[in-house]
Amino acid sequence: MIKISIYQDEGGRIDGFRCLGHAGYAESGHDIVCAAVSVLTMTAINSVETLTGDTFSYDEDEKKGMVDFRIVSPMSDQAALLMGSLLVGLRMVEEVYGRRFIRIDTKK
């Protein structure tokens, strides 16, 4: 199962996330849930880096299926929109494939 923690700033805006684990929906290389989460998270990270001036911290461990991303500068409106879009996509994956494969929780 992929566990996703959504980080929020004191104003309730999403300023990062942590993904951990593998979905287990199918064998490695054929797991569409893992692929969907990977595409959504990496697109969000690359978009923040490319389209905004925000700075962030980033860590990953491929074997554990871990990605930890957090905006560390004052967050721009563009980055806030990108993070909100990420959550919309992740919730859609959770809704379609179920909490057996992906779980999302929010942390302040």
pLDDT tens digits for range 5-28: 999 998 999 999 999 999 999 988
Are 34 and 27 a contacting pair, CB within 8 Å? no
**DSSP states of 14-41:** EEEEEEES---SSSTT--HHHHHHHHHH
Domain that holds residue 24: 2-107
Instruction: Tell me the pLDDT of the chain (108 aa) as tens digits.
Output: 999 999 999 899 999 999 999 999 998 889 999 999 999 999 999 999 999 999 999 999 988 889 999 999 999 999 999 999 999 999 999 999 999 999 999 876
Q: What is the pLDDT of residue 107?
A: 75
Q: What is the pLDDT of residue 29?
A: 86
Number of domains in the chain: 1
Q: Which amino acid is at 55?
A: T
Are 18 and 2 a contacting pair, CB within 8 Å? no
Are 56 and 42 a contacting pair, CB within 8 Å? no
Q: Would you tell me how many other CB atoms lie within 10 Å of the CB of residue 9?
A: 15
Q: What is the pLDDT of residue 57?
A: 98
Q: Fill in the DSSP letter of residue 76.
A: P
Instruction: Residue 60: give its domain's CATH number.
Output: 3.30.70.1490
